[in-house]
Structure 1
Amino acid sequence: MVTGTIRYWAAAKEAAGIAEEPFEAATLGELIAEVTRSRSELAKVIRRSSFLVDGDPVGKRDHATVELRRGSTVEVLPPFAGG
């Protein structure tokens, strides 16, 4: 298991109730499962969100295949309104 930081932006921050928190997870899929386990509103936002891992976009890759490294920073970016 690796440790890092997950940062929430906009609607994800509101749903999580915090801007960031530490995590322990080996993959992005594991991390998402952990942070949404008891947060149904956050789970709804995350389903619509995109992610950056250490500044790199995850895109459409399967979250279970996105490996995290010790000290990784995961950014949760919900859809933004406007242009």
Structure 2
Amino acid sequence: MQDGHVTTTIRYWAGARAAAGVADEQTSARTLAEALLLARSTRDDRFGKVLEVCSFVVDGDPVGGRDHGSVALADGGLVDVLPPFAGG
């Protein structure tokens, strides 16, 4: 952990996985906002558009409407990226 950054796994589901091109990846960031910015920086605009409609769950806790910059990440933690799902 350097400068408060922690290593966290981002796990992509369904359409987010297709847009990311990977099922999961590790990132070094302090907040959810930083982790998403890093993930976007290596991909095209399509990926960013998918993220805009996704929900996020950090270590089992839904982020909901919280500011992503206020959501701290834990070392060894898990961020689930969930696109909207159809069905009932």
User: Structure 2 length normalisation: TM-score?
Assistant: 0.91
How many residues are matched?
83
Please state how far the C-alpha of 1:41 moved relative to its aligned partner. 1.6
CA deviation string 1:22-79 (max 9, x = no partner): 1100000001111011322211111000000001100100000000010110000000
Query: Superposition pairs for residues 32-71 of structure 1, below 5 Å?
Result: 32-39=36-43, 40-71=45-76
TM-score where L is the length of structure 1: 0.96
Unaligned runs of at least 5 residues, structure 2: none
Cα RMSD after superposing both structures: 0.7
The alignment-based identity, stated in percent, is 54
Q: Which has the larger radius of gyration?
A: 2
- Matching residue of 2:33: 29
